[in-house]
Amino acid sequence: MILEASTAVAQGANDDPLSYLNKSQKYNIVFRDKDQADESFTTSLYVCFHELKYQREEEVTWRAWLSQQPSPSVRPIELDRKSSAGITRVDCTMFNTIQFSWNGKRGATVAIKINCLSTEFIRCKGVKGVQLRLQAQIKDSNSQTESSCCRIKVFRDKVPSPFISSSSFFIFIFYFYFYFYFLFFIFYFLFLLFLLVSLSSSSSLLLS
């Protein structure tokens, strides 16, 4: 299981990778079998709490989160089927779990969105949000199960990247023209001052 998202630089030696995601933004997760076995794997991919104190009250915490959502159909993890590839027998009926099958030889790409914020589970001000976990339980045709996970923190994408790019461009243009005309008027003023001084000097010489 490989989450296609940037990983935080500061990592402990024994810590799982930590990635910072934007809420409701699409991210790809790639599944590959290292042996490329031509068999079907059944995978349960779910989002849960990484810290033990939240795991102990997971059901209550999720209920509280759901009560604050605009619709009871909102789920913390969402599958983007159109952007996914190589998956079959998809089941999205569970609250925080997506279940699907994929072939080990061909692999699969699963596009997901996380619809909860790390800060939604914190009542204290000044806390940066809880760590969540993307967990995958992978079962082969012999019912042998492997587990893979990565830590995530989810925050709100304050400004869409296209807007940032366009606004930065306009700010650059603004300052470019501002300094251009500022320097132009400075040189123009100095030029006029030079002419006045020259004319004044010429008049003094003529009078003398």
Positive/negative CA dihedral, 26, 23, 87, 103: positive
Same domain, 52 and 66: yes
Domain that holds residue 167: 161-208
Per residue in 57-74, pLDDT (tens digit) is 999 999 999 999 999 899
Amino acid at 53: K
Beta strand residue intervals within 10-167, DSSP E:
18-22, 26-31, 40-49, 77-79, 87-91, 97-103, 108-114, 132-139, 145-155
Per residue in 131-189, pLDDT (tens digit) is 999 999 999 988 899 999 999 999 987 544 444 444 455 676 777 777 777 788 888 78
Same domain, 203 and 105: no
CATH number at residue 101: 2.60.40.720
Per residue in 31-55, pLDDT (tens digit) is 999 999 999 999 999 999 999 989 9
Positive/negative CA dihedral, 60, 61, 62, 64: positive
Same domain, 126 and 182: no
pLDDT band at 191 (very low <50, low <70, confident <90, very high): confident
pLDDT band at 82 (very low <50, low <70, confident <90, very high): very high
